Amino acid sequence: MYNEFFEAQSSLIMKKNSFFTSFLVAGISCLSAPFSQAELVDGLIEYWAFDGDYAAGLDASNDGVLVKSGTGDASFVLGKFGSAVDLENSIGNQAVINVGDPAQFAFEAGSMSISAWYTTESLYTDWGTLVSQAEGGNWRIARHGTSGTNFKWSISGPASVAANIDQQDGSWHHVVVTHPSPEDGGEVTMYIDGVAVRTAANWILGNGSGFQMQIGGNAQASNRGWDGNIDDVALWDRALTEEEVALIWNGGEGASIESLTQGPATPLQIVDVAHTDTGNNILVDLAFTSREGRSYSVFSTNDLSLPLTSWTELNDDVPAAVGESTTVFRVNFNTQGLPLDEHQFFVVAENP
């Protein structure tokens, strides 16, 4: 009945918007979406996932080293993604993580962004430092004040962005600070849980003054260690965009820096198409590469002149097959109400 519809056609070579053609098999053109990772790779200096160790994600010379004093300690606990480091700090008892070469993370007179996930426990002093490179003209993110509701990005003196937010709740929270250089222009922006809560004029970043960058502490000031959990800390040498911050926040579910920048071993693509003609219906099985734990959306059209927003959404939550590198999605032309035209085009896209 539909044999002519499924005769093999020549390959279709084209690019439409940001979606790339995989191939055309049995009269069905199959398009697949690339992973949207290129932007966040740009300018990424380093990240620390804390998945059971203090290793840096890009350069082993930036691996963290735990430094303890008194009864201060650290352990690995369930994190926002995989594991996280739980720092136990109090007056005279400190546990902080030194990372990398001091000069590498100073960003002197340049641009930078920092992202981190965290939970709060006690605020045992006026300052609880999440990430920093010392005092003065150097940068730091810290809780400030006895109530713990003042979350601050500061350089020196009045050069600070502070947000009054009560986060003493044990839940995971996310902070991003984007700091463009004065030359690049724009404002310093602090995002808390995906929302831009404060902006201010930008200032010139210092040279680090030779102090070590610390996660969970301040190398230039004692007894300012973070008391709580920290996960997935990352630094860029540019100001992230609002859209990029939203990718990391991901509606509160979060997306790890590794998942956003490393991508899969093979790109997302439709690798096989099979069809069955039951006489009353046409069934098409789309097989595509997938990553376990992710979900996918499938779209279709018979008119490539239409923008993707006008394509028919067949499913917006196709789970990746467990234990497999490919997933198969079945399209039922009858129940989906798709027209049986000479060509039918499909797009598979990984959900954020």
Query: How confident is residue 33, by pLDDT bands cut at 50, 70 and 90?
Result: very low
Torsion-angle region of residue 255: left (phi > 0), alpha (psi -120 to 50) or beta?
A: beta
Residue range 85-111, pLDDT digits in tens: 999 999 999 999 999 888 788 888 889
The CA-based dihedral angle spanning residues 336, 338, 343, 346, taken in that order and rounded to the nearest 10 degrees: -40
In order of their start, the domains of the chain are 4-35+264-350 (2.60.40), 39-261 (2.60.120.200)
pLDDT tens digits for range 277-306? 777 778 889 999 888 778 999 988 888 888
pLDDT in tens, 230-241: 999 999 999 999
Q: Is 93 helix (H, G, I), strand (E, B) or coil?
A: strand
Phi/psi of residue 215, each to 5°?
A: -100, 120
Q: Looking at this protein, which amino acid is placed at residue 4?
A: E
Q: Where are the beta strands (DSSP E) in 119-227?
A: 127-132, 140-144, 150-156, 159-164, 173-179, 187-192, 195-201, 213-215
Q: Please report which confidence band the pLDDT of residue 263 belongs to, taking 50, 70 and 90 as the band edges.
A: low
pLDDT tens digits, residue range 145-160?
766 667 788 765 445 6
Please write the tens of the pLDDT for every residue from 184-204: 888 999 999 999 988 888 888
Say what the pLDDT of residue 341 is.
Answer: 59
**Angle at alpha carbon of residue 336, lines to 330 and 338, rounded to 5°:** 105
H/E stretch holding 21 reads strand 19-25
